[in-house]
A and B are shown apart, each in its own frame.
Chain A
Amino acid sequence: MRVGLFVTCLVDVVRPEIGFSALKLLESAGCSVEVPATQTCCGQPGYNSGDAAAGRALAKKVIEEFSGFDYVVVPSGSCGGQIRLHFVELFKDDPDLKARAEDLAARTYELTDFLANVLKVERLDSDFRGTITYHDSCCGLRELGVQAQPRRLLGLVPGVKLTEMEGCTQCCGFGGTFSIKYGDVSGAIVDEKCRNIRASGAGAIVLGDLGCMLNIEGRLRRTGDETTRVLHIAQVLSGDA
């Protein structure tokens, strides 16, 4: 099974280790993984800011780069949602590219969705120990239906104790450029998320999207929380955490 890994721009620059955790998870499950070296960004920042032309240019690039793979896996619900849902929308007036976008969409999976539902992983080689709470990132949850998959996989790690926080499906306030344009509103929203994380008593907050991760970690640290770990689910599942 040939799998193309789209690491996403944020993982590439800010948290490369998450890319390697994802790679390890896929390879341990028997996939032959390739990382097209020309990959950059799925185009979501432009698309969500109203620049559909930029969104189309980058979407076309991703479609071409990942044309030869059986599956394309993304360690992010947000970029996964962009590829699965919005590429098709971007090319609604171009039958040829729309067909190629649909083809790519059908082969593209968010990481935990792929591990749980395509590879049907039953065993994980991870020794993570501790109480965690899980944040459901918006696009993964509401665009791709990622909710049971990460929890099922976390259940395969013997040392993990999952304690759900209040409002785990509530947005963390990131919203891409929203967090910069309306920093104060975004700050108030993530503040509530951080209060819920602390109230859960968990030692680590685990999630599947870089945007939420940087937002939550940044707010926890700014408000003096030096101890709560902020981890991508790939790190916990791969045993790299």
Chain B
Amino acid sequence: MHVQSMHFKSRAAMKLADARLQANLGRFAHRVINARAAAIAELDDFEGTREAAAERRDRPLANLDVWLERFEKAATARAATVLYAQTYAEAAKLIVEIARRHDVKKVTKSKSMVSEEVELNQAFAAAGIQSVETDLGEYILQINDNEPPSHIIAPVIHKDREQVSQLFARVHEKPRKTEIGELTREAREVLRGHFLSSDMGVTGANFLIAETGTVAVVTNEGNEGMCTILPRVHVVLAGIEKVLPTLEDAATIMRLLARSATGQPISNYFSLLTGARAEGEADGPEHMYFVLMDAGRTGLLGGEFQDMLRCIRCGACMNHCPVYQKIGGHAYGWVYPGPMGSVLTPSYVGLENAVDLPHAATLCGQCSVVCPVKIPLPDLLRRLRERQVERGLRPWYERVALRAWAFAAARPALYRPLTQIGARVLKWMGGRSGRIRSLPLAGGWTAHRDFPAPSGRTFIEQYRARRGG
């Protein structure tokens, strides 16, 4: 996906001014937070379960090369082909080559955020291959001029029913439907034809199981089954970090994935797909491929951001993020929004292309409280801020202001008179109302709220006078 993260500020401002988006986001946050809380409360021991889930994600990451080789061996034994891609371009090239090799005219896709990283649909289009998104949300976005998703689980959450209704009437050229059931049926009728005429299915992977060579895919609509059973070829596109040693590991994590994501105890569909169709088997693709992609993952391995690779893409961090709740996913400007995106985007597309993202968080900590695999997101954001300072990526005035503050705060003999003068100046600025409506250098504050003026004498000053010290 084209990187727009350098324009975070202006994009966020645009989203804040969009009243319709604000209403849509408000409804969503409320619903999903309550649903998750109820689903998590059903677990006997949430803390113990997330501890176990984090441990089961950490184990393969500690020896990723070994587990990937085991996965490759097991998958190959089931007649699947495992390919590796270092970059987005390589991944796209490999998949287009597979399509060409099998004379593919039409591809049906189930939802995959990695395919957004790769810009896979654009690669198919450039190769003259038709590619159809079959997740309802992704389908809506695709027919709306390839709009990017705004959430990793609920890609079209920024739109309401009315907007979808208008879009369907225009694109499908049918009488306008208004009920959600009718709209879904209309999409299903369109998609059914694509499923039946598809030559190749592309899915992502929630997990890659090393012991069996299996891909695990979670959906609510069952579209993934139509993408993997009907076409002749199935291609799995996955980041290399998705590997888990055993099916049991996946079972542990599945106790938390849907609960954290949508508040469901388990997703409507959970598919475990192993190998191409063998002799005597009734279904499955004739050819199965895995394209396992690095594209920045190994850069996080073994370093201070490795914790991020545990991510199971549930979206709980963004659902609970006060910033995401106000601006939605598009403001972040790349594939992954919210706290996890503010760590991944700078890591994958360059810190210099996402200078705002690590700072676009209040560090309130709620993301790390709800994360099912205990990723310390606020700590990771803070470390990215440190790397920015080290690389001189922050604006000069910010560096000067922080340096000046630190210089003064380290020297009480300088700090005391400065704060005493400051308190008096601010009191004077507050006038009789005791409120400052406009502060130089803090316009971001006073554009939206008053600054309550100090009472004039600092605590230390008064304390010394009282104690005669």
**Cβ-closest chain A residue relative to B408:** A40
A58 to chain B, nearest CB (A): 6
Bitwise, A82-94 to B at CB < 8 A (1) or not (0) is 0000000100000
Chain A residues, CB < 8 A from B84: none
Chain B contacts for A17, CB-based, 8 A: 455
A218 to B462: give the CA distance in the assembly, Å.
25
- Residue B41 CB within 8 A of the other chain: no
Query: Measured between alpha carbons, how far is A11 from B460 in the docked complex, in Å?
Result: 10
Asked if residues B362 and A138 are in contact (CB atoms below 8 Å), the reply is: yes
Contact A40 B389 (CB under 8 A): no
Tell me, rounded to whole Å, the shortest Cβ–Cβ distance linking A179 to chain B: 6
Assembly CA distance A41 to B415 (angstroms): 10
* Most A-side CB within 10 Å, residue of B366, B454, B460: B460
Check B382 against A50 for contact (C-beta < 8 Å): yes
Give the interface size class of chain B: 35 or more
Interface residues of B in 446-469 (CB under 8 A from A): 447-452, 454-455, 457-464, 469
- Report yes or no: A43 in contact with B444, Cβ–Cβ below 8 A: no
Interface size class for chain A?
35 or more
In the complex the two chains form, what is the Cα distance from A215 to B315 in whole Å?
A: 28
Residue in A40, A54, A222 whose CB lies within 8 Å of B450: A222
B327 touches A185 (CB 8 A): yes
**In the assembled complex, which residues on chain A have CB atoms less than 8 Å from the CB atom of B454?**
13-16
CB distance from B410 to the nearest CB of A (A): 5
Q: Are A54 and B12 in contact (CB under 8 A)?
A: no
Q: In chain A, what residue has the closest Cβ to B441?
A: A180
Interface residues of B (CB under 8 A from A): 9, 12-13, 16, 322-323, 325-327, 358-366, 368-369, 379, 382, 384-390, 394, 398-399, 402-403, 405-406, 408-410, 412, 415, 419, 422-423, 426, 435, 437, 442-445, 447-452, 454-455, 457-464, 469
Query: Which A residues lie at the B interface, using CB under 8 A?
Result: 7, 9, 11-17, 19-20, 23, 35, 37-41, 43, 45-52, 54, 57-58, 61, 89, 138-139, 142-143, 169-171, 173-190, 214-215, 217-219, 221-222
A-B CB contact pairs (8 Å), 21 listed: A11-B459, A13-B454, A16-B457, A16-B459, A20-B459, A40-B412, A45-B405, A48-B382, A48-B385, A50-B386, A51-B399, A54-B406, A178-B363, A181-B444, A183-B447, A184-B13, A184-B447, A185-B327, A188-B326, A217-B450, A222-B450
